[in-house]
A and B are shown apart, each in its own frame.
Chain A
């Protein structure tokens, strides 16, 4: 089978790196914001430890932006990077629908949902066998990318909007849908944790499957295997 000349479209690459910068800044400044009030609640309100469903550990300064405790500076970064994040996500989705990358490479077919295929895919992953001939992505990749692009990343934006008091008159219904403002805040943290989990596995798999050509193809678009 001939491989396409470009492994990743230019729009995919722009989105990927823009998104990476935004997510890293948002995540690290978010850890400072978490340190400002380390308790998560369900419902509309919550302000003391006894009503919390989770006490988040305090994150050490070296993990955070700005590297020392300043809620004001962390919010500055969070507020700026939120624009880069949301706009590149919108750009990525439009591009992926227009150039059919989504339909061609990420949408699964019924064949792939057969238990035998899923089992084989998991087995291949466990054996660190990354050579899957047909198609760009295997089943687990499609599901993971689909969830990250379709649920977690937009979920970060929507839950972020839901905890902004200035958005309350516009999106009060969305806050209700999430079960209240403190529930929306909890979901914001949960999605962030899931995204971090994806980040770790993603980087690990890139390293295991050949970091040099993977990185090069996400930068230049060319497949040099």
Chain B
């Protein structure tokens, strides 16, 4: 019993040390620097447009798990869902020359990309699905980014624990060929639990980057003024902005 007490005490002292480092300014800086080293390594090893593997349809998992918001109750989402999202609009705005406001029909008429990809959640699980939608680059080119735009922010309709969901990526991931605005999953209209009527696919990053219930795409120069200033709902709660790790 004594030895166990010693182990617990030693463990507690080690933990206290770790937490002290994490709470100090240089410690926090080091922890977030490590994240950017990973991003740099990932992008150094392959070109910026390199694709993640795509699977045959036979690899699709029998079911696609929904996570986070799976049935938003805030705002008029439920009413919109009941109306089949007939009045849903996707705005493209911010630092662009030609702001856009698109209906779902507009989006369905754009050239489409269909990809069977694997979705990896930060918790550790994975599911495979077939996603269809226009590439984000198409919309950004149509809206014409202004030169000072550095990030693309995804605005969402859902609230999680009372706070609005949002996400952001840099222009490298925004222009990646597999970054699409999906409106179909496995050949059917996107289910509510997976983000109906529109969600992002950011295939080289973890699931929380793939914003659901998408209402607007906004080009910005900095993430500082949005909500908690860290570029995303989960990022404001301590998670890594670069979610490719």
Please report A residues at the B interface, Cβ cutoff 8 Å. Answer: 24-25, 28, 33-34, 36-37, 39, 41, 44-48, 62-63, 65-67, 70-73, 75-77, 79-80, 82-83, 163-170, 172, 175-176, 181-182, 185
Within 8 Å CB of A72, what residues of B?
234, 237-240
Contact: B122 with A168, CB < 8 Å? no
Could you write out 13 A-B pairs with CB less than 8 Å apart? A44-B118, A44-B126, A73-B238, A76-B35, A79-B35, A83-B34, A164-B38, A164-B42, A166-B245, A169-B46, A170-B46, A181-B118, A182-B125
Q: Give A59 to B223 CA distance when docked, in angstroms.
A: 36
CB distance from A83 to the nearest CB of B (A): 6
Q: How far is the CB of B157 from chain A (nearest CB, A)?
A: 24
A70 to B19, alpha carbons, bound, how many Å? 12
Count, A-B residue pairs, CB within 8 A: 135
Are A45 and B127 within 8 A (Cβ)?
yes
Q: How far is the CA of A46 from the CA of B128 in the complex (A)?
A: 9
Q: Mark B107-123, 1 if CB is under 8 A from A, else 0.
A: 00000000000101111
Contact A37 B206 (CB under 8 A): no
> Are A67 and B15 in contact (CB-based, < 8 A)?
yes
Distance in Å: Cβ of A85 to nearest Cβ of chain B: 12
Q: Would you list the 9 A-B pairs with minimal beta carbon distance, nearest first?
A: A166-B244, A72-B238, A169-B50, A37-B124, A47-B125, A80-B34, A166-B42, A37-B123, A67-B15
Give, as a whole number of angstroms, the nearest-CB distance from A147 to chain B: 26
> Is residue B203 within 8 Å, beta carbon to beta carbon, of the partner chain?
yes
A181 touches B240 (CB 8 A): no
Within 8 Å CB of B32, what residues of A? 76
Interface size class of B (residues with CB under 8 A): 35 or more
Separation of A133 and B2 alpha carbons in the complex (Å): 37
Nearest CB of A to B48, in Å? 10
Instruction: Indicate whether B6 reaches chain A with its CB closer than 8 angstroms.
Output: no
A174 to chain B, nearest CB (A): 11
Q: Does B55 touch A at the CB level, under 8 Å?
A: yes
B240, A46: Cβ atoms closer than 8 Å: no
Q: Would you call A181 and B18 a contact (CB within 8 A)?
A: no
Alpha-carbon separation in the docked complex, A156 to B92 (Å): 43
CA distance A165 to B203 in the complex (A): 8
Cβ of A111 to closest chain B Cβ, rounded Å: 40
State whether A66 and B19 are in contact (beta carbons under 8 Å apart), knowing that A77-B31, A83-B34 are contacts in the complex. Answer: yes
> In the assembled complex, how far is the CB of residue A133 from the closest CB belonging to chain B, in whole angstroms?
34
Do the beta carbons of A71 and B123 come within 8 Å of each other? yes
Q: Cβ of A33: which chain B residues have Cβ within 8 Å of it?
A: 124
Chain A residues, Cβ within 8 Å of B42: 164, 166-167, 170
Say what secondary structure dominates the interface of chain A. Answer: helix
User: Would A79 and B123 be within 8 Å (CB), given that A62-B8, A62-B11, A66-B22 are in contact?
Assistant: no
Pick from B126, B203, B240: contact of A76, CB below 8 A: B240
> By the criterion CB–CB under 8 Å, are A66 and B15 in contact?
yes
Q: Contacts A79-B245, A167-B244 known; A71 to B122 CB distance under 8 Å? A: yes
Determine the chain A residues whose CB is within 8 A of the CB of B11 once the complex forms: 62-63
Residue in B8, B45, B120, B239 whose beta carbon sits within 8 Å of that of A75 in the complex: B239
Q: Does B12 count as interface, using CB distance less than 8 angstroms?
A: yes
B53 within 8 Å of A (CB atoms): yes
B18 partner residues in chain A, CB cutoff 8 A:
25, 65-67, 77
* Chain B residues whose CB sits within 8 angstroms of the CB of A28 once the complex forms: 15
Give chain B interface residues in 114-164, CB to chain A under 8 Å.
118, 120-128
- Min distance, Cβ B66 to any Cβ of chain A, angstroms: 10
Contact flag A164-B55 (CB < 8 Å), given A67-B15, A169-B204, A181-B118:
no
| A73 and B8 in contact, given A47-B65, A165-B52, A165-B203 (Cβ under 8 angstroms) | no
| Alpha-carbon separation in the docked complex, A70 to B23 (Å) | 14
In the assembled complex, the CB of B94 is this many whole angstroms from the nearest CB of chain A, namely: 26
Question: How far in angstroms is the closest Cβ of chain A from B26?
Answer: 12
- CA of A220 to CA of B241, assembled, Å: 42
Find residues 152-181 in chain B having any chain A CB closer than 8 Å to their own CB. none
Q: Which of A24, A75, A163 has the most CB of B within 10 A?
A: A75
For residue B14, CB closer than 8 A to chain A, the reply is yes
Closest to B64 in A: A47
CA distance A172 to B42 in the complex (A): 13
Would you call B39 an interface residue if the criterion is a C-beta within 8 Å of the partner chain's C-beta atoms?
Answer: yes
Q: For A45, what are the chain B residues with a Cβ–Cβ distance below 8 Å?
A: 61, 118, 125-128
Q: Which residue of B lies closest to A81 (CB)?
A: B34
